[in-house]
Amino acid sequence: MNLEEETKFLIKKYNISANKNLGQNFLIDEQVVENIIEAAKISQEDVVIEIGPGLGTLTSKLLEKAKKVIAIELDNKMINILKDRFSLYKNFTLLNEDVLKINFDKLINEQNIEQNAIKIVANLPYYITTPIIMKLLEEKVPAQNITVMVQKEVADRLTAIPGEKETGAITYCVYYYCEPKKVMVVPNTSFIPAPKVNSEVISLNLRKKAPVQLKDEKRFFQIIKASFMQRRKTLINGLANSGIASKEKIKEILISMGLSENIRGENLSIEQFAEIANKL
């Protein structure tokens, strides 16, 4: 049976339909599965945390390759299928939880995982792609890499160079913590049901050293988020409206950096944002 036949078989056997509200688009392309595993560089030493295993397409391959797989799935129907399929695997742990509510510190402690052995793999539910990635990065989950399938358009934003085209606040966050890399574009026909848009696999390799030195990380991200919240406004107005600092103070800093007082946040490099944050 190929992956498409297997997926249709499971859908029929368990009499389920994909739940759009949970972003369920099941992967049916063998080559994409192979490429995800290869990009994540999974070895027998690795503990993989899989987010949203669904019917278990990626899970099945991950269980063959990794020392341990911890899968986090919200949908009870999927949980029943995953238990049926994989409960005999000794290296499989299944959590019926909302990934956004997981306490990763606690999970890693409870599961006795060595910090540098973690890799995160997922065909992400698209309705919460950004919150999931922000959570993993801001909570500093000690992973080596995060290899995920996301919407093509989101992949562009996650892998852009800060200050260039296609950026958002998350571009700076990803770039600060990771070296992002595009792996492959995936057409919508590689899923059942086919989503409206194309997708892309990306790999985020966690940096050992941050690309800029910050006095206060929290303040840095607060400034970036505030300037993108009102991205049509100038940086001065955006930051002043969010109560971060007075217009005069921000203007003074921009002038000291040789920047125009009309500049927008999206035109600033990560180094420039760092300098502003450090000066504030």
Question: Which amino acid, one-letter code, is at 131?
Answer: P
100 sits near ligand SAM (criterion: CB under 6 A)? yes
Rounded Cα gap, residues 156 and 223, in angstroms: 22
Query: Which residue, 26 or 176, is less far from ligand SAM as judged by CB?
Result: 26
Q: Which span (49-57, 104-112, 159-167, 237-245) binds ligand SAM, by CB under 6 A? A: 49-57
Rounded Cα gap, residues 14 and 10, in angstroms: 6
Q: Name the minimum Å distance from CB 116 to ligand SAM.
A: 25
Backbone angles phi, psi at 266, to 5 degrees: -65, -15
209: which 2 tokens? 């050293």
Write the CB contacts of 171 (distance below 8 Å, at least 6 apart in sequence).
157, 158, 160, 162
Instruction: Find the helix or strand (DSSP H, E) in which 190 lies.
Output: none
- Binds ligand SAM by CB under 6 A, chosen from 94, 125, 226, 228: 125
Task: Say if residues 173 and 134 touch (Cβ distance below 8 Å).
Answer: yes
Show the binding pattern over residues 3-32: x = contacts ligand SAM (CB under 6 A), - = does not.
-------------------xxxxxx-----
Query: Which residue, 29 or 275, is less far from ligand SAM as judged by CB?
Result: 29
For residue 244, give the DSSP letter.
S
Q: Name the minimum Å distance from CB 98 to ligand SAM.
A: 4
- Binds ligand SAM by CB under 6 A, chosen from 47, 48, 57, 228: 57
Binding interface with ligand SAM (CB under 6 A): 22-27, 51-55, 57-58, 72-75, 78, 98-100, 123, 125, 128
